[in-house]
Structure 1
Amino acid sequence: MYADILEATVLNNTRYEKDPNRCLAYHVLDDNRVPLTQEQVAVEWSASGKGEDAHPIRIRRSPIRICASGDSWINVVIEVSRYLGYNKTFFDILECYYQTASSAWPGYTFDDLIEQKPFRVHVDTGVYDYFVFSGGGNELLGGCALSRLLKDRSAVLGSDRAEDYLHMDRLEAVLEKLKKGYVEIAEHVLKQAPRTQLLVQGYDYPVAHSDGPWFGRPFAKRNFRFEADKELINAILTYLVDRFYGFLHDVDSQFPNVTVVDIRNMVRGRWTDEFHPEVEASKDIAGYYRNVIDGYHFV
């Protein structure tokens, strides 16, 4: 069984806890462990801002307007999490260059995002040029989701195919659920804000840590050996991320208002933990988004 709390900090009466079962979700609580809303955290930390280096480049912002929603790849609550060693997300970097608004929250699951649609507060105004969305990683990666998808290491002998170590029926069901959710979001944006382009991504290839709560523990639970099975573990995580991009490209092909921003191989090992980029990696990802947003294309 996983521990209820793996890592936490308490600052300004705000408690920030990793969720061991969901690799992109955190609990943001008061010192009595009561969940805080985004508005409450904003008030609590209004004097702190996003740190002295929030806007490292003083420039005149582009008139392009961008809104965002999703999980902790958009908003890691840097005001609190930087004390745990976290860095700004790629969207924190984009805020330096564009007029932005965000409804992202590190506690959101994909189900929360589909059912509640917190992005409506911005998207439905129809005034944004781009809508940056990140969600669904918890359904495939980390904690309980990954543990459920993995077969026991001893059940497969002599194969180097990642898919042989996965319950493919369960995986296909998860992918179908995610695709259905992204289609629902794309349809909503197309109907409510037809001039807004939806930018989606499927994360980058993570690196499991032997003591990591999100990838390490599920693999250990299924009796994978981190030294002997290192390449196999990486292959499985790569396969899952590639399948994520596979259904995203399917959605892209169905909707003229959807663009996949493929950021695979951009982090290149620069992680603060198993699945959140360090600041230099966030800058590279933001730079790639800027090329997409400003109309530059890579050959």
Structure 2
Amino acid sequence: MTEASKYGITLEKLRSRAAKGDLTQREIRAYFEPDERRGEAFAPAFKLTEFVDKQGKRPSARTVTELYFGAEMGVVSGPRARLRPRSRGRGITTTASAARMKVLAEGDSWFRLPNLSWPVSYPDDLVDVLRQTYEIPGVAMWGAEIGHMVTVQKNNYLVPLRSGLYRHFMFSGGGNDVLASVQTHVKRFGAAGTNPSSAESYLKASFDGALATVIGHYRTLAGHVRSVSNPKPTLYVHGYAHARPLPGGPYIGAKLEALGFDANSSLARKIVAAMVDRFNVKLKAFAAAENAAHPTYKVVYVNLRPAFTSAADWNTDEIHPSDAGAAKAAARMGDNIAANVPVA
């Protein structure tokens, strides 16, 4: 039996089975493959393989990637569910999962990276680790931007929150605005001093404007969460950590080098740290202001920076935690959730 006859499927049938969540990992590997021309590091795009009859249609890379995402989520939350950390091999039964406290998580790649160890192996994200303790549905998506999440895709979290099942809501957003904006908001090398202590001087005034936009999106998010009752969920937010620029790095290193910096230098690392620190200051102030103005619900700011104590806590792509880093960061998030569980 040929592979094509064994796995052949129409696009219509593929959509239907992906929506039902009943595709196996083997079938997903047969029907999807990386679209290297359109994908980016940790924001992979996918295309359909020869085993899919496209029925005369030409679905876009975005459409196929979203279809892949839905198919993959069936592996961890559908009828064939195997809720487990990506590479640990420890299954969680449906009964055990149902007994766990439910937590909702919406956000970007810190909360959601591809779960399958194909086509490449990705490190654990925070939700992978936290699923060992909590039942967390798949809502977050790598590459998601905060403005899109709180406007176009707001029902992704509002609908489940309004179901009354979730007292705890984790949100991860703004990383693209903070770390992917180096080329826009950092001055060229030589515009300020060359000592690492000059890092703050390299940040343009435009960076504060970008952060103001991000915090504005967080206020929109907060308004959505406040509108939910029975129960009123606690909102958990975080400000990422001091990412490590690398020579030629796809997110930070190459952009700093284009501005004349040595990506390996202390100055480059301090500039990145200054950007992250400034975001954390704004996010912490946002949480404090929300709590003061709206005492009927709670925003918990989680500082993840102390969790990252060595280079080994970072993945080789510069801005995502390694398995070890994800475990440390997830522990801090989990401690904050546990601290806000009412004592029976």
Query: TM-score if structure 2 supplies the norm length?
Result: 0.72
Counterpart in 1 of 2:276?
Answer: 241
Going from structure 1 to structure 2, the CA distance change for 1:207 and 1:57 (only over 3 Å counts) comes to farther
Counterpart in 2 of 1:293?
Answer: 337
Q: CA deviation at 1:150?
A: 1.0
Q: CA deviation at 1:182?
A: 0.5
Counterpart in 2 of 1:15?
Answer: 34
Match among 286, 303, 325 for residue 251 of structure 1: 286
Counterpart in 1 of 2:206?
Answer: 170
Counterpart in 1 of 2:178?
Answer: 140
Counterpart in 2 of 1:278?
Answer: 322
Q: CA deviation at 1:125?
A: 2.2
Q: 1:262 and 1:210 mapped to 2: Cα distance?
A: 27
Q: 1:217 and 1:88 mapped to 2: Cα distance?
A: 25
Q: Give matches, 1:41-120, under 5 Å.
A: 41-43=69-71, 46=75, 51=86, 53-55=88-90, 60=96, 63-79=100-116, 83-116=119-152, 117=154, 118-120=156-158
Q: CA deviation at 1:89?
A: 0.8
Match among 12, 25, 28 for residue 45 of structure 2: 28
Going from structure 1 to structure 2, the CA distance change for 1:85 and 1:43 (only over 3 Å counts) comes to closer
Q: 1:128 and 1:208 mapped to 2: Cα distance?
A: 37
Q: CA deviation at 1:294?
A: 1.4
Going from structure 1 to structure 2, the CA distance change for 1:97 and 1:204 (only over 3 Å counts) comes to same
Q: CA deviation at 1:161?
A: 2.1
Q: 1:217 and 1:158 mapped to 2: Cα distance?
A: 19
Counterpart in 2 of 1:199?
Answer: 236
Q: Going by fraction, where is helix more abundant, 1 or 2? A: 2
Going from structure 1 to structure 2, the CA distance change for 1:16 and 1:201 (only over 3 Å counts) comes to farther
Look up the equivalent residue of 1:271 and give its one-letter code: W
Q: CA deviation at 1:53?
A: 1.6
Q: CA deviation at 1:31?
A: 3.6
Q: 1:180 and 1:109 mapped to 2: Cα distance?
A: 13
Q: 1:83 and 1:261 mapped to 2: Cα distance?
A: 33
Q: CA deviation at 1:255?
A: 2.1
SS at match of 2:250: coil
Q: 2:39 and 2:202 mapped to 1: Cα distance?
A: 25
| Higher RCO, 1 vs 2 (CA within 8 Å, ≥6 residues apart) | 1
Look up the equivalent residue of 1:280 and give its one-letter code: A
SS at match of 1:198: strand
Q: Please, which runs of 5 or more residues in structure 2 have no aligned partner?
A: 1-27, 50-59, 292-297
Q: 1:260 and 1:19 mapped to 2: Cα distance?
A: 32
SS at match of 2:123: coil
Is the CA contact 2:194–2:267 (under 8 Å) kept in the aligned structure 1? no
Alignment of 1:129 with 2:167, yes or no, is yes
Q: Report which stretch shifted further, 31-40 or 273-282.
A: 31-40
Look up the equivalent residue of 1:73 and give its one-letter code: W
Q: 1:120 and 1:280 mapped to 2: Cα distance?
A: 32
Is the CA contact 1:146–1:215 (under 8 Å) kept in the aligned structure 2? yes
Is the CA contact 1:16–1:26 (under 8 Å) kept in the aligned structure 2? no
Q: Aligned residues, how many?
A: 279
Is the CA contact 2:182–2:255 (under 8 Å) kept in the aligned structure 1? yes
Q: 1:221 and 1:19 mapped to 2: Cα distance?
A: 22
Alignment of 1:261 with 2:296, yes or no, is no
SS at match of 2:136: strand
Is the CA contact 2:105–2:169 (under 8 Å) kept in the aligned structure 1? yes
Percentage of matched positions with identical amino acids: 23
Query: TM-score if structure 1 supplies the norm length?
Result: 0.82
- Output the aligned Cα RMSD: 2.9
Q: Please, which runs of 5 or more residues in structure 1 have no aligned partner?
A: 1-9
Q: Report which stretch shifted further, 36-45 or 272-281.
A: 36-45
Q: 2:116 and 2:65 mapped to 1: Cα distance?
A: 14
SS at match of 1:132: strand
Q: CA deviation at 1:249?
A: 1.0
Look up the equivalent residue of 1:289 and give its one-letter code: M
Give per-residue Cα distances to partners, 1:13-42, cap 9 Å, x unaligned: 13266865xx8x614322476223555434
Is the CA contact 1:55–1:96 (under 8 Å) kept in the aligned structure 2? no
